[in-house]
Amino acid sequence: MPFDNSATSQILEGIAAFRSWIISIWWLWVFPILFLLARSLWLAYIREWYRRHLVWSMYELKIPREILRSPRAMEQVLASIYALVNSPGNIKETWWDGEVTKWSSLELVSFGGEIRFFMRATKDNWTMVQTALYSQYPDLELVEIPESEDYIHRMPPTAEEVLKIPRRLFGSEQILSRPDVYPIRTYVDFEESEEDFRLDPFATLLEVLGKCGPKEELWMQILIRPVLGDWWKNKGEAEIEKLKERNTQKIVSQEYGETSMTRLYPGFGDAELIKAIDKNIAKPAFETVIRYLYMTAPEAYNSNFARRGVASALNQHASKAFNEFYYNKGSATRVEYHFGIIPPFFPKRRYLARQRKIYRHYRERYIYPQSFAENILELKGFHFGIWGWKTSHMVLNTEALATIYHLPTKPVMSAQLIRKVEARKIGPPMGLAIFGEEDERADLPGIGK
């Protein structure tokens, strides 16, 4: 059959005509592109405005000498904090108010070896946070810290000024080695027997903080924001389905044809993984950022302690079968050789840019935003670790968070590392006047003279 050149020519001519028509109306495409760009930038701006106008309350947790509660008590506190989750409910709250989900900060700092605990939440949420803390730790003492007395003001407001004191500065964020639906080892895994029940997994981290010398400071913050919707649960269920498919056997029967059967052998790793993931996604969860700073006089700087101190303490929660923490190279204040051979470009400028960024993020208690445009606006010159904003953002459930941050139990409190309340604080005496003296009460509505 002869090849029809005329048909081919007509098709090519039609394609060329359509292309010319598309080019001729290029200006029509400008409007939707500009609209989407303006929409994204406005949302980034109005959300940042909302964040900047949040009013915060910060309290120091002064710990009683004896705490008989396990980390499970802190898990109940975190579950109460999760119940305070907020989200924009209508167009006004989304596009005009810029409302975003509020977050909280669990902080642990060491000033020359003296360890102190802090919690920070928005002012309108703090009453419920306080109630949750007292319900689980009735002997706890909460001391409000005014903004002007925040411990971050112990150091100058910028990284450049810190370096001029002089101080050496190292900072990093923790990430997970596998997807966050895979759990870490939690306090439940440390309580397999009555003897193990007396072990506190928090002790290792406190010991690291207690090793800071007189000229060293280690600041650590755990930022938590409640997970909205079912996306994290769905992510875990999708991972479970993948594991089940890996264990699905196809059986061919002459009578019934081809059938599939999932068989998880006892003791086989995937069976344990499925069980662990299912348990992990069943509890309330928070988007989490774990960030820390190590600052010291130049002569006292310990590179190994800075890089591996916190990471090694958190490594006790590691499980090669499930998940583990390690420090994020994308956000750490180090400039490394690529593949051990290629030298870094502009190493001094990049090093300073990384120090500047993580120091600012720590002081602002910065939790990574919820849109791509907002993260793009955070990019700065010479900070090439642009993947840091994504990989440091992980999800941990209440059990995992309570394992990492809780009030230390009695065996740990015996160490002289932690600032604690030496005497037990009791409630007010019975019959104490609520409103004031009798003559003041007489002027109140409902109280006769």
Q: C-alpha 415: how far from its chain's center?
A: 28
Please compute the mean of the pLDDT values over residues 323-351 and round it to a whole number.
Answer: 74
Angle at 192 between CA 186 and CA 196, to 5 degrees: 90
Is the pLDDT score of 273 beyond 50? Answer: yes
Is 49 part of any domain? yes
Residue 411 inside a domain? The answer is: yes
- Tell which wins on pLDDT, 448 or 77: 77
- Say yes or no to pLDDT of 96 above 80: yes
> What tokens appear for 148 in the block?
């002007």
What are the C-alpha distances in Å from 358 to residues 119, 308, 400, 447? 20, 17, 24, 57
- Chain position carrying tokens 């499930």: 322
- pLDDT exceeds 60 at position 449: no
Check residue 387 and give its pLDDT.
Answer: 47
Question: What pLDDT is attached to residue 11?
Answer: 77
Residue 421 — very low, low, confident or very high, per pLDDT cuts 50/70/90? low
Contact indicator for 329, 337 with CB cutoff of 8 Å: no
Residue 30 domain-assigned (yes or no): no
Query: What pLDDT is attached to residue 445?
Result: 42
Structural domain range at position 350: 44-227+284-429
- Chain segment 214-231, per-residue pLDDT in tens: 889 999 999 999 999 899
Could you tell me if residue 275 is inside a domain?
no
Query: Stretch 130-157: mean pLDDT, rounded?
Result: 94
Is the pLDDT at 251 greater than 80, yes or no? no
Residue 301 has pLDDT above 50, yes or no: yes
| Most confidently predicted of 147-156, 208-217, 305-314, 345-354 | 147-156
At 388 the pLDDT is 46
* Neighbour tally for 356: CB within 10 Å: 20
Residue 242 resides in a domain: no
Query: What is the pTM assigned to this prediction?
Result: 0.82
What does the pLDDT read at residue 372?
A: 67
Residue 183 DSSP one-character state = P
Residue 250 in any domain: the answer is no
pLDDT at 117: 95
Average pLDDT over residues 385-393: 54
**pLDDT over 60 at 63, yes or no:** yes
Q: Based on the structure, what is the number of domains in the chain?
A: 1
What is the DSSP annotation of 363-414?
A: HHT----SSHHHHHHT--TT---TTHHHHT-EEEEHHHHHHHS----HHHHT
> How much is the average pLDDT of 319-331?
83
Bigger pLDDT: 253 vs 311: 311
Q: pLDDT tens across 338-387, in order?
A: 545 555 677 788 888 889 989 999 999 998 776 666 766 666 655 544 44
Q: Please report whether residue 317 resides in a domain.
A: yes
Q: What is the mean pLDDT of residues 62-85?
A: 89
83 inside domain: yes
Q: What percent of the chain has pLDDT over 70?
A: 75
Provide the pLDDT confidence category of residue 267 given band limits of 50, 70 and 90: very low
Average pLDDT, the chain: 80
- Average pLDDT for residues 132-140, to the nearest whole number? 92
